[in-house]
Chain A
């Protein structure tokens, strides 16, 4: 159990999430990729807290912030998916490319 191993696992989760967020067409699958990226951030924050700066509690506060961000991301994402599905029956990102420049 070293800092490097924890960070490598976190980097793996982040990279897998990034792959999903970039490659998935379905809006919900894309959100799963984002969640997986934040999952890696949680792991990295916990590892940094434990191995480098366990005297303070800022690392723990950062985890609380990230967990909240995950909840907000999922709620807002589903609200947007509901709104666009209601308006245009779109559930794929390729169907919502109006702002593509």
Chain B
């Protein structure tokens, strides 16, 4: 168990560091994915098998989508030349090292309490009961948030909406399209 922990923890941190060290956008994306997979392994190691698998499934899809966007927008997707896209690097390094030292000091100095209670025999079952029962408000809030995200992302990323095609009052006689639609009749 200890060996598995060290391998996964070091992999998570090293691949995480690789995200800002590697030269190619594609490599960067898959380095981030590897870091997520290592963390998912650690979550499984902690006894949360279901959530670990959920993280794996979500992150694989998320990073593949991210890779597409990377290659769409970013320079140097193939890593043929060194890439340096930083601003205020020393300041950022100081802040992040300071944050780590502060967090590590807290982690090592706090007198952590003992474990209370015993885990449910099936943590996944307990999570399901909790999400559909006492945490229903959380679940519903998450649902509304996701729906609002769907609407907002579509609105933000649509190039031409119905108001561009049919005018502000949606009362134009013919739609103003760059290309005619239909089958030419």
**Interface set, chain A 1-21, CB cutoff 8 A to B:** 1, 3-9, 11-20
Q: Which of A52, A57, A85, A92 has the most CB of B within 10 A?
A: A57
Indicate whether A64 reaches chain B with its CB closer than 8 angstroms.
Answer: yes
For B, the interface residue count at a CB cutoff of 8 angstroms equals 78
Contact (Cβ within 8 A) A26 B74: yes
- Tell whether A78 pairs with B48 under 8 Å between CB atoms, given A57-B130, A61-B135: no
B179 to chain A, nearest CB (A): 18
Note all chain A residues with C-beta closer than 8 A to B130.
56-58, 60-61
Q: Which residue of A lies closest to B20 (CB)?
A: A20
Note all chain B residues with C-beta closer than 8 A to A19.
20, 92-93, 95-96
- Tell whether A85 pairs with B127 under 8 Å between CB atoms, given A1-B2, A80-B156: no
Indicate whether B12 reaches chain A with its CB closer than 8 angstroms.
Answer: yes
Indicate whether B54 reaches chain A with its CB closer than 8 angstroms.
Answer: yes
Contact (Cβ within 8 A) A57 B127: yes
Contact (Cβ within 8 A) A36 B32: yes
Note all chain A residues with C-beta closer than 8 A to B145.
68, 72
Note all chain A residues with C-beta closer than 8 A to B164.
none
- Tell whether A20 pairs with B69 under 8 Å between CB atoms, given A49-B46, A60-B130, A67-B58: no
Majority SS at the chain B contact face: helix
Indicate whether A96 reaches chain B with its CB closer than 8 angstroms.
Answer: no
Q: Which of A7, A13, A68 contacts B35 (CB 8 A)?
A: A13
B123 to chain A, nearest CB (A): 7
Contact (Cβ within 8 A) B85 A22: no
Contact (Cβ within 8 A) A51 B115: yes
Q: Which of B43, B97, B123 has the most CB of A within 10 A?
A: B43
Q: Which of B29, B86, B159 contacts A25 (CB 8 A)?
A: B86
Q: What is the 8 Å Cβ interface bit string for chain B, positions 24-41, against chain A (1 contact, 0 not)? A: 010011001001100100
- Tell whether A29 pairs with B107 under 8 Å between CB atoms, given A9-B13, A17-B16: no
Q: Which residue of A lies closest to B100 (CB)?
A: A15
Note all chain B residues with C-beta closer than 8 A to A5.
5, 9
**Interface set, chain B 115-145, CB cutoff 8 A to A:** 115-120, 123, 126-127, 129-131, 135, 138, 142, 145
Contact (Cβ within 8 A) B108 A4: yes
Contact (Cβ within 8 A) A60 B16: no
Note all chain B residues with C-beta closer than 8 A to A39.
12, 16, 35-36, 39
Assembled-state Cα–Cα distance A64/B4 (Å): 24
- Tell whether A32 pairs with B87 under 8 Å between CB atoms, given A11-B100, A91-B73: no
Q: Which A residues are closer than 8 A to B by beta carbons?
A: 1, 3-9, 11-20, 22-29, 32-33, 35-36, 39, 42-43, 46-47, 49-58, 60-61, 63-65, 67-68, 70-72, 74-76, 78-83, 85-86, 91-94
